[in-house]
Chains A and B, each alone.
Chain A
Amino acid sequence: MDGTALLTITVLAVFVGFEVVSKVSSTLHTPLMSGANAIHGIILVGAIIVAGQAADPWVLAVALLAVVLATANLVGGFVVTDRMLHMFHAKKDAGQAKGGSK
């Protein structure tokens, strides 16, 4: 991919990024931060590519470490965001006080 095309995409993505979150209520700041955090876990794709091209065992070891870290970011991020959002409900399903407060 040539430089100008990447630059175009980057600039457009900046504006989209500004636009989509410009009107979020403070109620959702925490889940939004956590969700955005999960999305950058997609560095996993980069880590997989690097690990898949590694010939030297040391390179492979470092790349696999990157895969582990990126997976933790991606999987953990989406799971914890989902758990958080699961608790937001408008009206009470009270009574069924949630089980695992451990």
Chain B
Amino acid sequence: MSILDPVWTALLYLAAAVFFILALRGLSSPRTARRGNLVGALGAVIAVVTVFLSARLENIPWILGAIVVGSAVAAPVARRVRMTQMPQLVALFNGVGGGAAALVALLELGHAGEPWVRVAIVFTLLVGAVSFAGSGITFAKLQELMTTRPVVFYGLPVVMSVVLLAAVASGVAVVVSGSLPLAVLLLVLGLAAGVLLVLPVGGADVPIVISLLNAFTGLAVAASGVVLGNVLLVVAGTLVGASGTILTRAMAAAMGRSVAGILFGAFRGGSTAGSTAVSERPVRSSSPEDVAVLLGYAQRVIIVPGYGLAVAQGQHTAAELALALEARGIQVDFAIHPVAGRMPGHMNVLLAEANVPYESLKEMGEINPEFKTTDVALVVGANDVVNPAAKTSSGSPIYGMPILEVAEARQVVFLKRSMRPGFAGIENELLFEPQTSLLFGDAKESLAQVLGAVKAL
């Protein structure tokens, strides 16, 4: 049916595009973020209703059925996923979006008359496929279905070059001939390139890659808008491509790394190489009671939460411990590294989930000068973000990443599961320093024991 004439259609798409812009702007500030997201969802609803009312569509029952299936799969997963697993879910949603864009471009090949439309089709196919396959690999890495370490094999740069050259060649051939089998070949080459692009990226850098692939999918969607002559797709896709690029750079800057270094450094022997070997060097291990005494008679305590805390679902216990210490008149803050957790800003989400008030979460720049006057820094399930190797050893893969300077505190207590190195796979010298003591065990259980002992003081 086509109830709406082209003018109304264009105006409604314009409204949806404005809503998307407002959504991104709203998402940039904590106060307006939630409303911003809802505005974006409203824009999407307007756009989808508009397409049903304006385009001459066949197969409407089938399409509605497919929408129901997609919603029925995605909504419950999105609603139930643990906050710790959210980065991989975002990667997954990003990947399927890229896949959808590639399929749309493939099917439009038959309708493309002009060569520049076919150029857009080739771009969408390639970038969408890279995003789909790359996101699949990031998902597998974050879900730990495969090793989180960089996967590098001899000849990888050569294989990658061959794949890219073949992709360019078949892309040119598709533009010239409009051949469908060649377009399918291009799709397959894109998938291969996506896999090869992400395999060598080390675990710690994966979040940045998710953001980059997010920008890629945006560009693929924009190009598919060119193919279909649909302005809304062009605007929305370009917005995401541009903002995603900025966001990727901001995230990389927060980790003291360059995007190019993450992607191409990998080809020179792994982006964040390291070992998962367990060190045999002696450390000072401690008991929950000792830690409780340290904390209970301190004046100032800073808690440094890491992904290990979240995995153990210990956020609530950590929040309780902070309250118990505050009840003893101790000043307690949480020091949040920009990339604590598995994704920039992830730890803020996790602690917000545990009802830790926003004001106790201190950003790195704000809290770092205060470690000097801190009696105890309690590091719970974090490792790389407090590793002094980032400042001192120029050969280290995390060299240059800004860290939380817990080493400045009078005492440092690590709650750790084992001596295994962190996500980046680098040993932490701080563990062997004289002011450091370690309490081994599951983060949540250790915190509960310390909490019990503090209450008994």
* Number of chain B interface residues as a range: 35 or more
Q: Is the CB of B242 within 8 A of A80?
A: no
- Picked from B24, B33, B101, the residue with its CB within 8 Å of the CB of A21 is B24
Q: Report how far A22 CA is from B25 CA in the complex, Å.
A: 10
- Can you list 28 pairs linking A and B with CB atoms under 8 Å apart? A6-B226, A16-B21, A17-B24, A18-B246, A24-B27, A27-B361, A30-B346, A33-B210, A37-B240, A38-B40, A38-B44, A42-B47, A42-B233, A43-B224, A45-B51, A50-B108, A52-B58, A54-B58, A60-B62, A64-B62, A64-B66, A69-B103, A73-B96, A73-B97, A80-B78, A80-B90, A82-B41, A84-B86
Number of interchain pairs (Cβ within 8 Å): 375
Q: Report how far A10 CA is from B232 CA in the complex, Å.
A: 10
Task: Write the nearest CB–CB distance from B44 to chain A, whole angstroms.
Answer: 6
- Picked from B100, B343, B352, the residue with its CB within 8 Å of the CB of A43 is B100
- A residues within 8 A CB of B233? 42-43, 45-46
Q: Is the CB of B67 within 8 A of A21?
A: no
Task: Write the nearest CB–CB distance from A24 to chain B, whole angstroms.
Answer: 4
Additional A-B contacts beyond A29-B338, A35-B36, A36-B27 (4; CB < 8 A): A10-B238, A51-B62, A62-B106, A94-B355
Task: Write the nearest CB–CB distance from B234 to chain A, whole angstroms.
Answer: 6
- A residues within 8 A CB of B313? 101
- Picked from A22, A34, A72, A90, the residue with its CB within 8 Å of the CB of B74 is A72
Q: Is the CB of A39 within 8 A of B352?
A: no
B214 within 8 A of A: yes
- B residues within 8 A CB of A9? 231, 234-235, 238
A46-B345 in contact given A62-B106, A72-B93, A92-B357 (Cβ < 8 Å): no
Task: Write the nearest CB–CB distance from A38 to chain B, whole angstroms.
Answer: 6
B222 within 8 A of A: yes
- B residues within 8 A CB of A97? 316, 355
Q: Report how far A11 CA is from B399 CA in the complex, Å.
A: 37
- A residues within 8 A CB of B222? 10, 13
A65-B21 in contact given A22-B246, A29-B251 (Cβ < 8 Å): no
Q: Report how far A88 CA is from B346 CA in the complex, Å.
A: 12
Q: Is the CB of B70 within 8 A of A69?
A: yes
